[in-house]
Structure 1
Amino acid sequence: MKRFFKSVSVSAAIVLFTLLFSSYAITFKEQYYKLYHVHYQQYPDDVMENIYWLERAVAADFANPQFALTHIKDKKDWEKYRYLFMMHVNLKLIEQHMRLGRTWDKKIAYFYDAPWKEEYLRDLETAERCYRAGLYYWTEAKIWAEKANQSKFKFLYLTGIQNWEDESYRIDRGELNYEKILNRELARLQKVKESFIAMDENTY
């Protein structure tokens, strides 16, 4: 655990150095989003860094439409682009919180884990907080997807961000439902917690 927080501190220092001494100011949503990246092997500090960039992307302003992540030809394109962007970033925040939660998620409570019962329970609480944060971002993603799926956009497709369009379509159809996934993980986690709580000096 100490090693984890040390590595996060190092990452935070690197981020601060980059912001202070980079050749240009990072100001807009699109710039922060471009700093998000998925490693082949994603360690907790990588996930924390991604969450930081994505949350900054949520809070920042949009760049001028000419610097959007797809071609924008008119105000209607621009409006739908903004809705899709916000939906997509919130979906990525869910994915990152799920990855982070799995770091502390003990899938099964084996009888021989009893000597470390309290440590595992603390880890499970951390995993639970990550999954519940994912539920918050799912609520946000659904709001933006609903805006992107308004009838006035029925025949408008931004082909440069087709994967975002696909995400919006799948949410609208109920094919993509992180609430169901996260609640399933939380229910399973609760059972693991209960198994640990039931352990006593006779368990092992």
Structure 2
Amino acid sequence: MRFWFLLLIIPLVFPETGLASTIRYKEQFWRMYHQQLYMYPLDIAENIHWLETALRMDFANPLWAIARIENEREWEKYRNLFLSHISVKLVELYLQWGNEHYKHRAYFYNAPWKQENLESLSKAESLFEFALVYWEDAKEYAEAAQQFSWINLEEIQNWEDEAYRIQTGQLDYEAIINRHLTRLNETRRTFEEMDSSTY
């Protein structure tokens, strides 16, 4: 009986020992992001939710950063690399989600579902446009991080490499997204031209 009484009274006396903790910093929401072998639309939407929430939150104290931070310049570079990396991940997720709705070719036998296909293409176009917005953010943050190119943050070296690839144009999601949008508009035109004589 005393055991149960203690279990009930301890959280009231010591609230900080509760079973749940509050997630309130960018780094905590970043850790909620997870990559799976097969990503279904709900998995993609969940990851987008975590990363977009991370963008709105504050950074944790530099003591709890993902990389070791020793001065203000390292802190500024860390923040820009973090935001650039999250933006790149959001670009990838929106591209992946857009591809779920993207019909690459309009075959004549798709004519009975012309309207459904046009709606699907509109969804894909919206998702690709979201990806373009995040790509612009990724480029901006990568450029800001490059101001401190002599600083090396070992724990997030892959983020530095990613920012460098963005800066040099080796990583260019804008070109990929624009190709998708061009092909999408061609497919849309083909669907719009379909009529009873097509099928």
**Pick aligned residue for 2:89 from 65, 75, 92:** 92
What does the per-residue CA deviation read over 1:77-118, in whole Å, with 9 as the maximum and x for residues that have no partner? 111000000000000000000010011000110110000000
Please identify runs of 4+ aligned residues in structure 1 that moved more than 3 A: none
Q: CA deviation at 1:61?
A: 0.1
In structure 1, what is the equivalent of residue 40 of structure 2? 43
- What does the per-residue CA deviation read over 1:137-176, in whole Å, with 9 as the maximum and x for residues that have no partner? 01111110110011xx131111110110011101111111
Structure 1 match to 2:131: 134
Q: Quote the sequence identity (%).
A: 47
Alpha-carbon distance change, 51 to 145 in structure 1, aligned in 2, over 3 angstroms: same
Deviation sequence 1:9-59 (CA, Å, 0-9, x none): xxxxxxxxxxxx971001000000000011111000000000000000100
Runs (5+) with no aligned partner, structure 1: 1-20
**Paired position in structure 1 for 2:119:** 122
Q: CA deviation at 1:74?
A: 1.6
Distance 1:81 1:95, change over 3 A: same
Alpha-carbon distance in 2 for matches of 1:73, 1:202: 71
The Cα RMSD (Å) is: 1.1
Q: How does 1:1-204 map to 2 (within 5 A)?
A: 23-150=20-147, 153-204=148-199
- The alignment of Structure 1 onto Structure 2 pairs a total of residues equal to 182
- Structure 2 segments unaligned to the other structure (5+ residues): 1-17
Larger Rg: 2
SS in 2 for 1:176: coil
Match of residue 9 from structure 2: none
- The 1-side partners of 2:86 and 2:151 are apart by 21
Give deviations 1:52-81, integer Å, cap 9, x for gaps: 000001000000001111111222111100
What is the alpha-carbon distance in structure 2 between the residues aligned to residue 33 and residue 197 of structure 1?
A: 42
